[in-house]
Amino acid sequence: MTSRLGFGALHLTDGGWGPPVDRDAAKAVLRTAVDLGVHMIDTADAYGVGANEELIAEALHPYPAGLTVATKAGQCRPGRGEWVPLGRPEYLRQQAELSLRRLRVERLDLFYLHRVDPAVPLADQVGALADLRAEGKVDRIGLSEVDVETIEAARRVAPISAVQNKYSVDDRAYEEVVDHCTAESIAFVPWRPIPRGDARVAKVAAELGAPEAAVALAWLLARSPAIQPIPGTTSLEHLRENMSADAITLTADQVAVLDQS
């Protein structure tokens, strides 16, 4: 497992709502991702309402040494397209237990608070994950869609190993968080890391004769050593294109083009 690229499994299960449309094809994507050097598979209890975790276990269990399977709790799904933060400690514990069962493990490698629930004190939400860690049911704790202030408040309750925020060459609202995670040796895991139709990416991709997605991922890898992108796809072709980012070395001029606002 040598790549800093992970794999986001959300879209393998019918838009994140139900089981996969083609189960065998979805399992093939997961297995090929691991074969290509993906170091982390990213899922959540809410993806496919549990079906995503079950699919990952079916495809990859027993998990190869060095592979992290990261999952999350803290958003419930009252209906298709609905995502509602729910951070009550008893709910987070319940969902962790269900994830352990679905992933067929005794300890979750990396367990994120999927969203901070504004109706519940942050210390109670992170404290629930810390309790699970103390019991040996969680190895590392992560946060998602948070700012620096929230990260530091959470770190006063428990060690934080990873932060997963939306970030890409065309969406840089969390620049401060990237820099903070880099300085504090916290993994920064961008979700939705590949922009669509970005002229800067297209220009550099044409120069390199490389897929645009791979160029966008290469920019992230060059942006900070803390960054570990998790692009997702249902296509083996796109998966291979994404993984080709590891072979791209951007010049200073190309980085400057991509850095332009």
What residues act catalytically?
47
Q: Is 47:16 a contact under the CB 8 Å cutoff?
A: yes
Residues contacting 44, CB < 8 A, separation 6+:
10, 52, 53, 71, 72, 73, 75, 112, 114
Q: Kindly calculate the radius of gyration of the chain based on its CA atoms and give it in whole angstroms.
A: 18
- What dihedral angle (degrees, nearest 10) is formed by the CA atoms of 15, 211, 30, 85? -40
Q: How far apart, in Å, are the Cα atoms of 261 and each of 91, 103, 239? A: 41, 41, 28
Q: What angle do CA 30, 138, 56 make, to 5 degrees?
A: 15
DSSP conformation letters of 141-166 = EEEES--HHHHHHHHTTS---EEE-B
Residues contacting 244, CB < 8 A, separation 6+:
210, 211, 214
